[in-house]
């Protein structure tokens, strides 16, 4: 999962879905996810999948971006389905289809809505300590990724990637050890920064958004109709 | 493989709700247990640990495309309370990126929390014993991952998410299925109220055995990889910053030649 790639898509996209309000997209995703979970046959699962694919296409960014992210859960769904391929192939197809759909819903949401916007919605139901750590952890991830990339270049230049597999794994472990130690130092720096900036037990994550418009309501209506359709079909 | 990669739509609703409920209770308990600590120190520590775990889980190792978890390391460094919160944050971000189902966040966090807590416990008990940190950590990692993988399989078995051949109780008495209309909506999912035995339960068992075989086979390779990597990390840390894993380079009391020796402080 390339979080940097996802973050770039969400931050730099200029599609109609990018312009929609974060809470509308989160709610629509929840409705579509419920539709997916409630699907109990290949036909139903396929219809919901089609509805989500249509929505993903409406983002006007290449579908393969989001489909690539959605393939990952399909691999593991196949593991569950593999034991029933011969005994109950319809169940296997349903499971795999639902996994792809759920993955595509998450991928569409997260490639059109920045993680920070999603976190700010989720933080309303989390303890403040957890919410603060969520925001800081996300930021720290990008700092660590940059540091890790620098370390990997340095190790390669010094010939550290050669040798047997156990030697490579050991080198990999030592490299991560350096990263962990640097992250511990980062913790101390973060503490000092928070002290200087007057951390008052809560990181404010609210931002002003425009009132909902036709696009937001259309998105919610589309998702709600999909859910209603699933329950009617049942 | 111990991290639940169950996609959405597979687990029954009671299990999903139970997972979220148990996670919420443990999360509140963890937050409550560390509320007296300086938050400006606690929050960055939890954030960094979750970022490290997130980074580790995002880096596929070429062998089996496996990724390490670093849950044992997190337990050793942070203890069960902060580690559980970090594990929850990591699973939340992963789920949003389609790495594991969103509805499985609760159960995933419980499995991750089990690894973190067990890692902390075993390191507290055996970290001060003689022996190289690499070896001790590798053994602890294998034990922890074996336990958590078994717990994950226990969840899978308990939810009976493998398909049953109980299409409909009428079908068990028919020879030709085309004689009755096939209602997909009613018949595809496992009949959790069914108590029928015989061929249907045998099929479920066979499906589960297949899945368990795959998981343990792939898991053993993954455990070995994670044991080597985590052991290397801990060995490196013990030689550079032993305080991070609860070890200390204090002089041994009563030693006249002031020789410093790593001493386990019992604190994470």
pLDDT tens column, A7-54: 888 888 888 888 889 999 999 999 999 999 888 888 899 999 999 998
- Find the helix or strand (DSSP H, E) in which A151 lies: helix A128-157
Q: Is the pLDDT of residue A218 over 70?
A: yes
Q: Does B212 touch chain A (CB under 8 A)?
A: no
Whether ipTM > 0.90 holds is no
**Partner residue opposite B189 with nearest CB, options A40, A82, A180:** A40
pLDDT at B88: 95
> Does B51 contact A72 at a Cβ distance shorter than 8 Å?
no
**Partner residue opposite A3 with nearest CB, options B43, B97, B161:** B97
Q: Does B62 touch chain A (CB under 8 A)?
A: no
Q: Which long-range CB contacts under 8 A does B244-253 form with residues at least 24 apart?
A: B244/A180, B244/A181, B244/A184, B244/B77, B245/B76, B245/B77, B245/B123, B245/B127, B245/B133, B246/B76, B246/B123, B246/B124, B246/B127, B247/B127, B247/B133
User: Where is pLDDT greater, at B172 or A179?
Assistant: A179
| Shortest Cα distance, chain A CAs vs residue B265, angstroms | 18
pLDDT tens column, B44-55: 999 999 999 998
Q: Best residue in A130, A135, A152 to probe B by mutation, most B CBs within 10 Å?
A: A130
> Does A80 contact B161 at a Cβ distance shorter than 8 Å?
yes
Residues B179, B157: Cα–Cα separation, whole Å: 33
Share of chain B above pLDDT 70, in %: 71
Q: Does B92 touch chain A (CB under 8 A)?
A: yes
> Does B240 contact A1 at a Cβ distance shorter than 8 Å?
no
- Torsion sign across C-alpha atoms B182, B188, B189, B195: positive
Number of Cβ within 10 Å of residue B79's Cβ equals: 21
Total-model pTM: 0.84
> Does A3 contact B236 at a Cβ distance shorter than 8 Å?
no
Residues A186, A190: Cα–Cα separation, whole Å: 6
Per the CB < 8 A criterion, the answer to whether B226 and B196 are in contact is no
Q: What is the residue-averaged pLDDT of chain A? A: 85
| Binding-face residues of B in 125-184 toward A, CB within 8 A | 161-165, 184
Q: What is the residue-averaged pLDDT of chain B? A: 77
> Does A88 contact B188 at a Cβ distance shorter than 8 Å?
yes
């Amino acid at each position: 999962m390339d979080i940097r790639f996802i973050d770039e898509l969400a931050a730099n996209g200029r599609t109609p879905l990018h312009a929609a309000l974060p809470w509308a997209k989160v709610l629509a995703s929840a409705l579509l996810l419920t539709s997916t979970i409630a699907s109990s046959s290949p036909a139903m699962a396929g219809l919901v999948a089609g509805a989500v694919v249509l929505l993903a296409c409406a983002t006007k960014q290449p579908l393969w971006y989001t489909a690539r992210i959605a393939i990952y859960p399909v691999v593991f769904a196949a593991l569950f389905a593999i034991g029933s391929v011969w005994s109950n192939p319809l169940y296997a197809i349903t499971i795999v289809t639902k996994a792809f759909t759920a993955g595509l819903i998450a991928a569409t949401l997260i490639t059109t809505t920045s993680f920070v916007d999603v976190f700010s919605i989720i933080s309303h139901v989390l303890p403040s300590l957890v919410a603060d750590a969520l925001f800081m952890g996300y930021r720290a991830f990008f700092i660590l990724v940059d540091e890790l990339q620098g370390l990997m270049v340095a190790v390669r230049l010094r010939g550290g990637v050669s040798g047997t597999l156990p030697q490579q794994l050991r080198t990999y472990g030592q490299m991560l050890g350096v990263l962990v130690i640097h992250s511990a130092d980062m913790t101390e720096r973060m503490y000092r920064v928070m002290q200087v900036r007057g951390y008052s037990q809560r990181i404010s994550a609210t931002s002003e958004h425009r009132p909902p418009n036709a696009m937001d309501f259309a998105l919610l209506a589309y998702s709600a109709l999909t859910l209603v359709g699933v329950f009617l079909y049942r | 493989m111990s991290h639940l990669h169950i996609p959405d739509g597979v687990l029954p609703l009671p299990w999903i709700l139970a997972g979220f409920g148990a996670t919420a209770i443990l999360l509140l308990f963890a937050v409550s247990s560390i509320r007296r600590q300086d938050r400006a120190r606690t929050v960055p520590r939890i954030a960094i640990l979750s970022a490290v775990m997130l980074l580790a889980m995002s880096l596929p190792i070429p062998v089996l495309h496996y990724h390490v978890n670093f849950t044992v390391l997190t337990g050793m460094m942070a203890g069960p309370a902060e580690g559980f919160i970090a594990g929850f944050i990591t699973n939340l971000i992963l789920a949003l990126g389609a790495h594991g189902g969103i509805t499985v966040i609760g159960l995933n966090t419980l499995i991750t929390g089990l690894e973190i807590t067990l890692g902390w416990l075993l390191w507290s008990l055996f970290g001060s014993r003689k022996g190289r940190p690499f070896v001790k950590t590798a053994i602890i990692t294998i034990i922890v991952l074996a336990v958590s993988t078994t717990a994950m399989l226990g969840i899978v078995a308990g939810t009976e998410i493998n398909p049953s051949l109980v299409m409909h109780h009428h079908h068990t008495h028919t020879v030709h299925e085309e004689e009755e209309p096939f209602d997909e909506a009613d018949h595809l999912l496992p009949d959790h109220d069914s108590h029928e035995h015989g061929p249907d339960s045998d099929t479920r068992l066979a499906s589960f055995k297949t899945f368990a075989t795959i998981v343990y086979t792939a898991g053993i390779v993954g455990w070995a990889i994670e044991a080597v990597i985590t052991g290397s990390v801990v060995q490196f840390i013990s030689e550079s910053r032993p305080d991070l894993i609860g070890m200390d380079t204090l002089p041994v009391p009563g030693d006249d030649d002031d020789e410093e020796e790593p001493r386990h402080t019992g604190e994470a």
